[in-house]
Amino acid sequence: MKKLQLLFIFLFFFSTYVFAQDYNMQNGTITTCSGNFYDTGGASANYLNNENITMTFCPETAGMGISLNFSVLDVESGWDFISFYDGNSTAAPLIATMTGNTVIPVIAASLTNTTGCITVKFTSDSSIARVGWAAAISCIVPQPNNDLLMQNGNITTCGATLYDAGGPYGLYANNENKTLTLCPETAGMGIFLDFSMMNISSGDNLYIYDGNSVSAPLLATLSGTGVLPEIGTSTANTTGCMTLRFTSNSSTVSAGWAADITCYEPTVQNNFFMQNGSATTCEGTFYDDGGAWGNYANSANLTY
């Protein structure tokens, strides 16, 4: 009898594994805590050109969150994109946008996501289609997520990591034009960025301003690779906020950046960057419009 019970248990788990539900990319919502997630071509074929599909996975159990563990990810780099949102629609916070085949991540719902759902959006262009992806679906206990992605808007924080719009796994996109203002949680403090990674293609630029808008003084213009600056707001900035604007052109995209956000007590910074305008001073350091860390821009015509 015991052997028969063991055999039954073995066959149950074996059949569950073998016949796990497959879900191909499609418009709609799926409620599950197991299965395999594929592009529209399934496990054996490529996805199609000109796709624009949004699919949401939600957990079967309240309080749990969806986790997607990728074993394959191969979409046309720079032209086809898969994006993940931390909720039950594309209005939820963006977790990552990925293209190419360089990273195989785990995408999971965060602790602040009360739905536990993950929404996936995939777009392909009119030319090359590749093998797509394969991911195992499971449900987990959600964990905190302090990652922020470059976006339009205002965020108040003193502890997070800021990435480009591609997130920690992907590339940013062509033709981006995003402006994000970061403000401290405590009055009298200022925002401080400590870059741990930067890879921005030539012709794409990250502009950083010492205030709550792009009309504030320019702190830096960042592009290229290798330079990992530390940038903080100044004592003259009564808001303590820092505004970032990122623009990309229509050609090559790259991995972007990662910067830890903290709050600090601002220090005096007599740095002046080439721009249209004027300043009254008897001391300081005068830089081109790229600032202390970046190159000056093409086609500049500035009078200071």
Per-residue pLDDT for 99 more than 90?
no
- The per-residue pLDDT for 12 is 44
- The per-residue pLDDT for 18 is 45
Per-residue pLDDT for 93 more than 90?
no
**Pick from 192, 185, 189: nearest CA to 161:** 192
CA 160 to chain centre: 13
pTM: 0.67
Whether the CB-CB separation of 231 and 132 falls below 8 Å is answered with: no
- The per-residue pLDDT for 262 is 96
User: Average of pLDDT values for 275-300?
Assistant: 80
Least confident stretch, 10-14, 32-36, 78-82, 169-173:
10-14
- The per-residue pLDDT for 15 is 44
Q: pLDDT: is 219 or 298 the higher one? A: 219
Q: Which residues pair with 178 in a beta bridge?
A: 246
**For the chain, first and last CA: distance in Å?**
90
Extract the tokens encoding 271. Answer: 């740095």
- The per-residue pLDDT for 75 is 94
**Pick from 168, 191, 164: nearest CA to 178:** 164
Extract the tokens encoding 55. Answer: 């699919």
- The per-residue pLDDT for 16 is 42
- The per-residue pLDDT for 268 is 66
- The per-residue pLDDT for 7 is 43
Average pLDDT, rounded, for the chain = 88
**Pick from 68, 110, 70: nearest CA to 93:** 110
| Per-residue pLDDT tens over the stretch 171-215 | 888 899 999 999 999 999 999 999 999 999 999 999 999 999 999
Q: pLDDT: is 73 or 16 the higher one? A: 73
DSSP-derived secondary structure letter, 224:
E
Per-residue pLDDT for 14 more than 50?
no
Residue given tokens 């788990």 in the structure block: 13
| Per-residue pLDDT tens over the stretch 39-57 | 999 999 999 999 999 999 9
- The per-residue pLDDT for 228 is 87
Residue 17, judged by CB atoms within 10 A of its CB (0-12, 13-18, 19+), counts as: exposed
| Per-residue pLDDT tens over the stretch 19-37 | 579 999 999 999 999 999 9
| Secondary structure (3-state) at 10 | helix
